[in-house]
Amino acid sequence: MKYNPNFSTAFLALFLLLPILTISSERKQKENVYVKTKFSLSKKELKIGGNAFIIVKFIPKEKIHINIAVYPKFEIDSLVPVSLSENIFVPRAKDSTYMNVKNNLRQEFTVNKNAAKGKYILKGRLTYLFCNEEEDWCNRFVQEFELPFAIK
């Protein structure tokens, strides 16, 4: 077998680039191919001690449902001066353990009393369960979100 310098150079380039390609793909936000989500805040300007809601609109593909037997769970970055309340409003479909996606999911939060005025980004994760009843499967998904707001 003859030595091919072009093959060796190409192999070396691929070997060196592979870790970089892997790192950049890991940073990419993963998306749910079965359910699209749209996040917003009920208010973008808040007062110290004030309340607002994280609002989530679910847009599932046909035959996909959001299962609320295990309620969706929110987690937020501890660096943001807000606290999640226990008030989570999940619209339920009639006679079902599925969410009525015509209405929005709403999670209440409160601005901490020791918060400083300024601009912030509420970063967090929403964990939820989505199912295909026809094919008899369910999956858990963790969707990250970032929502800008200000404390006045």
pLDDT for 21 equals 41
CB 152 within 8 A of CB 111: no
Rounded to two decimals, the pTM is 0.78
The residue ranges of the chain whose pLDDT is under 50 are 7, 9-27
The answer to whether residues 116 and 81 touch, using CB atoms and an 8 Å cutoff, is: yes
- H-helix or E-strand containing 19? helix 5-27
DSSP state of 81: S
User: Which pLDDT tens digit goes with each residue over 102-132?
Assistant: 999 999 999 999 999 999 999 999 999 999 9
Q: Which pLDDT does position 147 carry in this prediction? A: 98
Q: Which residue has the tokens 């309620």?
A: 71
pLDDT of residue 78: 85
